[in-house]
Structure 1
Amino acid sequence: MGGDSVISGTGSRRVRQSAIRIFAQEYSESSLIEKGVGEYDPSFVITKLGAKVNRCLICGGLERMERRDGDSGPFYRGQVRDPSGTHYFDVAPFQPELHPDAEELLARFETGDSILVSIVGRQKSNESEDGGIFTSIRAESFAEIDLESYKSWMVEAADATLRRLEAYASSQGAELSEDGLRDSGVPDDLISGMLQARGHYSEFDTEAYRVWILKAFSRALGRAEETPEVSIEENVKPV
């Protein structure tokens, strides 16, 4: 995984992971978590297609937004819908620099406006009492976007997902080792995640993934009059 080096306050070097473009369904179906060992080692949500998600860039229609008060102060929770499903995100009490923008977004949402948003955030996961994994995103930044920006993101996310689908298909029948996956045609940057994913998840039908990828391309190319995220022709106001 690539990323930018960052010097922490203690002088330790950590790497800011690149933000992966990912649709909600692939992310929400994930149940494999890789926890960082050291204080500055990243943790990852590993998807069925082998994406190792530490940070991600998501876009879609703002479906829900609310402010809550907790023991540590106010925080915000919301949902963003893309062509495949729903992402869940939050803005934590320890992120006061984001609270004014969150309040502004909440006010817009409460008026009933249809809003397209872009969120860069860090993976977050919780385990239920019965062992189920719930994935969400801790927002690092967010912004309202216009329709063209949303279309561009859909194309980028669809391209990235197709690349992972092709890698997954190439891995079928291959020896589950770095050399085996490399020889089968899996790109080097996907090998680590693919090894972990193939060892954790059962084989699954990828057809549903291909269906919503086609939906994303169709909407991005203007072949769909509306999206379930927002009524894009009439209701989205310019930024």
Structure 2
Amino acid sequence: MAREPAWRIFAFEFNDSMFLPKTGQEREANYIITRMGAKINRVLVSGILENKNIMNENTFITGIVNDRTGTFHISADKNYSPQKAWAFLFGAEPPVRVILAGKVRSYGESKNLDLRVESIAECNSFVEEYWRVRAALSLMERIRIMQMASTEGKEKLLGMGYGESYVDNIMMALENFKDPKIEIYLKTVRGIFGIKEEETDPEAIILELVGKLDFDGKGARYEDIVDNAVKEGIERSRIDEIIDSLLEKGLIYEPSVNIFKKL
């Protein structure tokens, strides 16, 4: 069986994921599906090992790694984990900056997620920052694709050359999570790098779109307004509410069904 690639993923996306039920096949791997459509078995993460616990007569170790967006719960078993990984964790004195590769698993009745450590080492701040940049770039690409999927559908992504299995994972995430929370994810990424978010007024954005999308002087189509508003980072679930508010304030009107014009 080919080894799964290790995804660079932030803790906040990892912990917002769903553990996929197994189908009953022999030696079946564990997978999660993230809200942004990544189907993941292995991850590569970096952060501060904040604490650890040694239990079961020194045969099992758990720990917490903080990557600034949240925490990963990690574990290693003396009888099953690679010896180097076990030895490092056993001797580590938190807090210590680390980079690690691990496989996803769930534990407990509530199906909490953690990582079974495959390899782990101490690292410096440059390694951690490089990991953070790569993880952010990867996430931003998934956000971009999810934005397209939520407005333009599966066939559009397939037509752009994305693989069918990857697109299927995107659509699975949309079906299971319903709301991709793109605005929240973008805000979190900005916060990671200390980027101050510009104050934006969703009503002002949609009002501007109504004017921009009125190509023939007859008004802007509802579908076009929704598609472009989502691309601007406005959550789909809020758009109808904002349009209603603009109508009530007399800033736009509806000359015909689902056609809007600025006043």
Q: Bin the TM-score by the shorter chain.
A: 0.7 to 0.9
> Is 1:190 the counterpart of 2:175 in the alignment?
no
Question: What's the C-alpha RMSD, in Å, of the aligned pairs?
Answer: 2.2
Q: Quick one: higher RCO (CA 8 Å, sep 6+), 1 or 2?
A: 1
Per-residue CA deviation, residues 156-211 of structure 1 (Å, 9 max, x unaligned), is 00001101111110111334x4x35424x583363132121112112142222222
1:111-190 to 2 correspondence within 5 Å?
A: 114-126=95-107, 128=109, 132-175=110-153, 177=154, 179-183=155-159, 185=160, 187-188=162-163, 190=166
TM-score normalised per structure 1: 0.73
The SS at the match of 2:56 is: strand
Question: 1:100–1:43: structure 2 CA closer, same or farther, 3 Å change rule?
Answer: closer
Other-structure match for 2:74: 89
Name the structure with the higher helix share: 2
In structure 2, the gaps of 5 or more residues are: 196-263
- Aligned pairs for 1:96-111 (under 5 A) are 97=83, 98-105=85-92, 108-109=93-94
Secondary structure (helix, strand or coil) at the match of 1:16 reads coil
Task: Provide the C-alpha distance between the structure 2 equivalents of 1:217 and 1:36, rounded to a whole number of angstroms.
Answer: 40
SS state of the match for residue 29, structure 2?
coil
State the number of aligned residues. Answer: 192
Name 1:4's counterpart in structure 2.
none
Verify: 1:205 aligned to 2:173, yes or no: no
TM norm structure 2: 0.66
Task: Show the counterpart of 1:51.
Answer: 38
Structure 1 residues not aligned, in runs of 5+: 1-13, 220-239
Instruction: Find the aligned partners of 1:32 and 1:201 in 2 and give their Cα distance.
Output: 12
Aligned partners of 2:39 and 2:169 also within 8 Å: yes
Deviation digits for residues 66-109 of structure 1 (CA, Å, limit 9, x no counterpart) = 11116xx611000111121111110023226133222211xx22
- Which protein is bigger by CA-based radius of gyration? 2
- What is the Cα deviation at residue 133 of structure 1? 3.3
Residue 57 of structure 1, CA deviation: 0.2
Structure with the higher fraction of residues in strand conformation: 1
Whether the 8 Å contact between 2:149 and 2:171 is mirrored in structure 1 is no
Change in CA separation of 1:127 and 1:166 when aligned onto 2, cut-off 3 Å: farther
